[in-house]
Chain A
Amino acid sequence: MEIYLPIAEMSVHWLIVLGMGGGIGFLSGLFGVGGGFLLTPLLIFYGVPPEVAVATTSSHITASSMSGAIAQWRKRAVDLKMGGVMAAGGLVGTVAGVWLFTVMRRNGQMDLLVSASYVILLGTIGGLMLNESLAALRARRDGAPPARRAPHLWMHGLPFKMRFRESRLYISVIPPVLIGFAVGVLSAIMGVGGGFVIVPAMIYLLRMPTNVVMGTSLFQIIIVTAAVTVLQATTNFSVDVVLALFLIVGGVVGAQFGVRIGARLRGEQLRLLLALLVLAVGLRLLFGLVLRPDDPFSVTTVMP
């Protein structure tokens, strides 16, 4: 049965949309990531207008993060204070990101903004992950312990220190606010939660204990993606609630299967697979930017 998406103004088959949500949910459960960075490009390849894809994916991430955050909350693995500080920076970031998004949309450069951000971010993250997971696999084979990174001591000199009890940290609020801000901008432009940026930043920059990292990042992602959804709905009218509903229902079910399969695979192998997936999506978008387009013209229609 075809369903009509009232904001995207297109007909889609409900099974395809449900399947997309389910597939991305499966991957996000498998790898423990939000999956926004895969869902947004997938929707765009399918023909959903980029602004609708970005804005609607935000609400999808709110739902999947909610599901994950509750599980972490039950294990008392959420640092609400740290999450709140990062979300404060994140909210400012989303306002800046949505503003940038609106300006670029008006100038016809929105596709470029979305594609270029994805290529840069996915290329960087994918490359780092590939490098690290290969090193970890090699280390395991050689029997050597995985390399530990040196602590970043420079940030201990910054002012506005605050105590984060659950994270067992006494640090300046400036680094978490800045990280939150950067992720907020990415979230608004790319329709991602930004877990793949926050989690490494929490571990390697803030040096938070790994047991609270997942829950805290999910908590802050809920707040930021909820803000992005509301801001996109009020400034660009680009949130499609029907599309969101099908993606979410597919996503939460798919995630459960992903989690179960993921529990049977080894961490290094999973990270290697995820790195390859991230690089593949990044390359696909890079080709879109550098290869001569079949049709250099594009048309935007506005009903006055």
Chain B
Amino acid sequence: MRRGALLAAALALAAGPAAATEDLVSGLSQDTVQITSNYTGTDIVVFGAIEHPEDVGRRDVVVVVRGPDADMTVREKQWVAGIWINRDQAKLIGMPSYYFIASTRPVGDIAPSDTLQRYSIGLANIAPERIFSHHDPAPFRAALLSHKQQAGVYGETQTGVEFLSPTLFRAAIPVPATVPRGQYNVEVYLFRDGTVISAQSTPFFIDQTGLERRLYNFAHESPLSYGVSTVLMAILLGWLSSLVFRRND
């Protein structure tokens, strides 16, 4: 929650009294994504503008999107008695289930590493609340990052924020079909010469909709009826097929 408090402080700073200070406004192309049966992924567009820009320094915009927190277990296969089986493991509590970052240039060039770490900006700076492991967690963490990147739920584009004019910017956030449901937060940071001068956070929601949602709820809320219904469906279809394909013998 340290990060949340910092963000709130940054927001308070940005909402300071002087009307003429440099500020940030941003919005999203949509505030909900409904995962329907034929959902194959979409983009959400973040757009924004710098208000009252002062004519000093170099500006950078960083967009960070975080999905709902999840607990992740990373297991490592080892060679035991001729076969490869899961042996060592690390459990990372409170990792974002989705993380995407876009910036105007590589974040390492934008701000010093302690600033990036403080705001959890960049894949390297995602920190779980707790790690349980009997071993050095670093390789497990690295494996987790590469797995999530391959799955398309962690991503980094170093030039993803595009300035359309000196004050107007946009960035596209990919939302693949594999993302979990829940609340996502889009944090937009305005840097000037390596310091955060303004920040804004906007949520959007990802939800399963229609039949899929109802089936998911059914399976989790009344699993016995769900299981029995599935069996009845199977028995009915099996019986129907024997009627349809009844052979004359």
Q: Which A residues form the contact surface with B (CB < 8 A)?
A: 1-4, 6-7, 9-11, 59-60, 62-67, 70-71, 108-109, 111-112, 116, 222, 226, 229-234, 237, 239, 241-242, 244-245, 248-249, 252-253, 255-256, 289-293, 295-304
Interchain Cβ contacts under 8 Å between A and B, 16 examples? A2-B177, A3-B38, A6-B216, A6-B219, A10-B177, A62-B235, A71-B242, A233-B224, A239-B219, A239-B226, A241-B226, A245-B233, A295-B147, A297-B74, A297-B77, A299-B73
In the complex, the chain A residue whose C-beta lies closest to that of B246 is: A71
The reply to whether the CB of B134 lies closer than 8 angstroms to some CB of chain A is: no
Q: With the chains together, A162 CA to B60 CA distance in Å?
A: 84
Are B83's CB and A59's CB within 8 A?
no
Are A229's CB and B69's CB within 8 A?
no
With a cutoff of 8 Å between Cβ atoms, the chain B residues found around residue A71 in the complex are 242, 247
Q: With the chains together, A70 CA to B241 CA distance in Å?
A: 10
Chain A facing B: main interface SS: helix
Are A108's CB and B241's CB within 8 A?
no
In the complex, the chain A residue whose C-beta lies closest to that of B243 is: A70
Q: With the chains together, A4 CA to B212 CA distance in Å?
A: 7
**Given A66-B235, A301-B70; A229-B242 close (CB under 8 Å):** no
The reply to whether the CB of B168 lies closer than 8 angstroms to some CB of chain A is: no
Are B234's CB and A70's CB within 8 A?
no
With a cutoff of 8 Å between Cβ atoms, the chain A residues found around residue B77 in the complex are 293, 296-298
Q: With the chains together, A231 CA to B239 CA distance in Å?
A: 23
Contact of B238 among A9, A65, A233, A292 (CB under 8 A): A65
With a cutoff of 8 Å between Cβ atoms, the chain A residues found around residue B226 in the complex are 233, 239, 241
With a cutoff of 8 Å between Cβ atoms, the chain B residues found around residue A232 in the complex are 227
The reply to whether the CB of B208 lies closer than 8 angstroms to some CB of chain A is: yes
The reply to whether the CB of B12 lies closer than 8 angstroms to some CB of chain A is: no
Are B72's CB and A248's CB within 8 A?
no
Are A112's CB and B224's CB within 8 A?
no
Are B38's CB and A2's CB within 8 A?
yes
**Given A63-B237, A109-B85, A293-B84; A1-B38 close (CB under 8 Å):** yes
The reply to whether the CB of B231 lies closer than 8 angstroms to some CB of chain A is: yes
In the complex, the chain B residue whose C-beta lies closest to that of A238 is: B219
Contact of B74 among A9, A66, A299, A304 (CB under 8 A): A299
Are B231's CB and A67's CB within 8 A?
no
The reply to whether the CB of B76 lies closer than 8 angstroms to some CB of chain A is: yes
Within the complex, what minimum Cβ distance (angstroms) separates A107 from chain B? 8
In the complex, the chain A residue whose C-beta lies closest to that of B153 is: A301
Are A64's CB and B38's CB within 8 A?
no
With a cutoff of 8 Å between Cβ atoms, the chain A residues found around residue B83 in the complex are 112, 116, 289-290
Most central of B35, B212, B220, B229 by chain A CB within 10 Å: B212
The reply to whether the CB of B184 lies closer than 8 angstroms to some CB of chain A is: no
The reply to whether the CB of B159 lies closer than 8 angstroms to some CB of chain A is: no
The reply to whether the CB of B30 lies closer than 8 angstroms to some CB of chain A is: no
Within the complex, what minimum Cβ distance (angstroms) separates A84 from chain B? 17
Number of interchain pairs (Cβ within 8 Å): 191
With a cutoff of 8 Å between Cβ atoms, the chain A residues found around residue B182 in the complex are 303
In the complex, the chain B residue whose C-beta lies closest to that of A222 is: B235
Which 9 A-B pairs have CB atoms at the shortest separation, nearest pair first? A66-B238, A233-B227, A297-B143, A252-B241, A230-B227, A63-B238, A63-B234, A62-B234, A70-B242
In the complex, the chain A residue whose C-beta lies closest to that of B93 is: A304
The reply to whether the CB of B117 lies closer than 8 angstroms to some CB of chain A is: no
**Given A67-B242, A232-B227; A11-B219 close (CB under 8 Å):** no
Within the complex, what minimum Cβ distance (angstroms) separates A265 from chain B? 18
- B 175-224 contacts with A by CB, 8 A: 177-178, 180, 182, 208, 212-213, 215-216, 219-220, 223-224
Q: With the chains together, A60 CA to B235 CA distance in Å?
A: 9
Are A66's CB and B239's CB within 8 A?
yes
The reply to whether the CB of B144 lies closer than 8 angstroms to some CB of chain A is: yes
Are B36's CB and A290's CB within 8 A?
no
Are A230's CB and B231's CB within 8 A?
yes
Most central of A3, A62, A64, A233 by chain B CB within 10 Å: A233
Q: With the chains together, A59 CA to B229 CA distance in Å?
A: 11
- B 76-107 contacts with A by CB, 8 A: 76-79, 82-86, 89, 97
In the complex, the chain B residue whose C-beta lies closest to that of A226 is: B231
Are A229's CB and B234's CB within 8 A?
yes
With a cutoff of 8 Å between Cβ atoms, the chain A residues found around residue B47 in the complex are none
**Given A4-B212, A230-B227, A296-B77; A70-B239 close (CB under 8 Å):** yes
Q: With the chains together, A241 CA to B39 CA distance in Å?
A: 18
Q: With the chains together, A222 CA to B97 CA distance in Å?
A: 39
Q: With the chains together, A107 CA to B215 CA distance in Å?
A: 28
Are B85's CB and A303's CB within 8 A?
no
In the complex, the chain B residue whose C-beta lies closest to that of A66 is: B238
Known: A109-B86, A297-B143. 12 other contacts (CB 8 A): A6-B212, A62-B238, A231-B227, A233-B219, A234-B223, A242-B215, A248-B238, A252-B238, A290-B82, A293-B77, A298-B77, A300-B73
